[in-house]
Amino acid sequence: MLLEIKNIKKTFGKEQVLKDITFSAEGGTCVGILGGNGCGKSTLLSILAGVLKPDGGSMILDGHDLFGTAEWHRHNVGYVPQGTPLLEELSAKDNLRLWYSDRKMKEELDGGVLAMLGIGEFLKVPVRRMSGGMKKRLSIGCAMSTLPPVLLMDEPCAALDLGCKGNILSYVETYKKRGGLVILTSHDEMELSTCDRWLLIKDGFISEYMYDGNIDNLVKSL
């Protein structure tokens, strides 16, 4: 599987946040998107997720332009935003019903993605009573309803404790081993160590970055 991002551009008012974002990535890998605050990391993920429309560019998965067909895009790209895209008054199970048929939910809870995420442990819990880790795992479960080959994650472990981070990153590793492609934004050392490649957005452009495990060196590069 090959994902090709070509010449993505985005302007807000008079500010051109993304000038020319071009890179490619293969299945079975995790790519970390780095950059300072306001550089356009979340904007890029929102565009790749189909939430924002770019001013130019293409997103090609195995020869198919995902920007050209909304249905094709929905089935091939999962998105976990920074916030919680869940209905607070509903339980985990009822939130999942917005994305899964009852039959498919049972299959995934018995031995699929929802089982790997441990969502069966809190199916009846309302979102408003969940911990941050539960909400994040449920958000990932909803994003994976079509079993997409591409998973976008915007700071997936932000504000979570070490145990929750470990659970989520363990799922990322499993997803990679099954051939999935993960693209995430992060400044978290645990998340960055999960990545196979790192890309740095600066002044509207993107380039390869050699992360050496030293977060201080990364901060100096932003």
Lowest mean pLDDT, pick from 12-21, 25-34, 139-148, 164-173: 164-173
Per-residue pLDDT reduced to its tens digit, 37-88: 889 999 999 999 999 999 999 999 999 999 988 888 999 999 999 888 899 9
* CA–CA distances in Å: residue 69 to residues 14, 65, 72, 79, 156: 29, 7, 5, 17, 27
Count of domains forming the chain: 1
Considering only residues 214 and 92, tell me which one the structure prediction assigns the higher pLDDT.
92
Give the distance, in angstroms, between the CA of residue 90 and the centroid of all CA atoms in the same chain: 23
Question: What's residue 20's pLDDT?
Answer: 96
CATH number of the domain encompassing residue 86: 3.40.50.300
In the block, tokens 């079993």 appear at 147
Q: Which residues of 8-46 are buried (b: 16+ CB within 10 A; e: fewer)?
A: bbbeeeeeebbbebebebebebbbbbbbeeebbbbbbbb
Question: What's residue 107's pLDDT?
Answer: 95
Question: What's residue 159's pLDDT?
Answer: 74
Per-residue pLDDT reduced to its tens digit, 173-197: 999 999 999 999 988 888 888 999 9
pLDDT level of residue 14 (50, 70, 90 thresholds)? very high
Question: What's residue 213's pLDDT?
Answer: 75
Coil/strand/helix, residue 4: strand
Question: What's residue 197's pLDDT?
Answer: 95
Question: Domain range spanning residue 50?
Answer: 2-221
Per-residue pLDDT reduced to its tens digit, 98-147: 999 999 999 999 999 999 999 999 999 999 999 988 999 999 999 999 99
